[in-house]
Amino acid sequence: MKRNRTTQRTVEILKLISKSPDGTTLDELCDKLNLPKTSAYDIVTTLAEMSMVNVTRGQKQNYTIGLMAYRIGVNYTNNLDFIGIIEPLLKAFSREVGKTVFFGIPSDHYVVYICKFEPENPIITTATVGSKNPMYCTSLGKVILAYIEDERREQIMNRIRFTKYTDRTIKNKEQLLWELERVKERGYAFDAREMEEHMQCVGAPVFDQDGNVLGAISVSSLYKPAEDYEALGKLVMRKGLEVSQLLGFLGKI
């Protein structure tokens, strides 16, 4: 069967961009894929208009994978066997704690919400399946950052633009590094009303069979001053380990 050349080039461009956390320039795309600059430019411009890639404008335009590509990936991921494996456990956990439970995965310097499980009387949360939030101010993102490889963490953190959402939002890289050390000590992370003034979230890592961070789970609810969030954190950490063990992980957090 004859392949369509433009389609093949488009897929090759997406694959290359997806492997570059710091982004890729048009010159790099052309050099690595041996493409004419006019053809490559037409393709990435169309991909950007369709939200398949993001464009950062500077001395040279830099391309990173876009939200629409994430969402297509989410639809694929939802059909993977591991989702079916962890879904009953997380549904039951949501009912047990009476709060909303999320499972998310890393995408560049964001966390993308793959699954959402709610109790019988859920509160309204802004996060939806397929949406994404910055890593530095979410419990899911922080715990993923804490447990990934040092080199990848550094690449991700260099791409973060620290935006203030509430008075409690982490302000800079140094503050985030300090926070990640606390996460490693505890085994779980907090979003202590950093994204939304009224929401408190607790997250814990999920590992694959090779011990790599696959993603994270979190519990979200309205902030209550009297609630013991440290105890909730330990509970979420144990559940994260249980999920990891279902996926073949044999180690300890």
Question: Same structural domain for residues 103 and 38?
Answer: no
Question: Same structural domain for residues 56 and 163?
Answer: no
> Hey, what are 15's tokens?
């694959």
Question: Same structural domain for residues 94 and 199?
Answer: yes
Question: Same structural domain for residues 129 and 48?
Answer: no
Residue 253 resides in a domain: no
Question: Same structural domain for residues 177 and 77?
Answer: yes
Residue 233 resides in a domain: yes
Residue 225 resides in a domain: yes
Q: Which pLDDT score is estimated for 219?
A: 95
Mean pLDDT in runs of 10 for the chain (253 residues)? 84 87 87 91 91 83 84 63 82 91 90 86 70 91 94 88 91 93 94 89 92 92 89 94 87 73
CATH number at residue 152: 3.30.450.40
Residue 146 resides in a domain: yes
Residue 143 resides in a domain: yes
CB atoms under 10 Å from CB of 61, counted, come to 17
Question: Same structural domain for residues 82 and 195?
Answer: yes
Question: Same structural domain for residues 20 and 86?
Answer: no
Q: Which pLDDT score is estimated for 135?
A: 92
Domain hosting residue 59, numbered range: 5-65
Question: Same structural domain for residues 38 and 130?
Answer: no
Question: Same structural domain for residues 215 and 185?
Answer: yes
Query: What 3-state DSSP class applies to 102?
Result: strand
List for the chain the helix, strand, coil content (%; round to 5).
45, 20, 35
Which of 78, 152, 62, 158 is closest to 112 using CA atoms? Answer: 78
CATH number at residue 53: 1.10.10.10
Q: Which pLDDT score is estimated for 123?
A: 66
Query: How far, in Å, CA of 155 to CA of 131, rounded?
Result: 22
* Structural domain ending residue among the three candidates 17, 50, 65: 65
Q: How many structural domains compose the chain?
A: 2
Distances (CA, A) of 187 to 143, 153, 180, 203, 232: 8, 17, 10, 9, 12
Residue 252 resides in a domain: no
Task: Write the Ramachandran bin of 119: left for phi over 0, alpha for psi from -120 to 50, otherwise beta.
Answer: beta
* pTM, rounded to two decimals: 0.68
Q: Are 138 and 111 in contact (CB under 8 A)?
A: yes
Residue 161 resides in a domain: yes
Q: Are 46 and 89 in contact (CB under 8 A)?
A: no
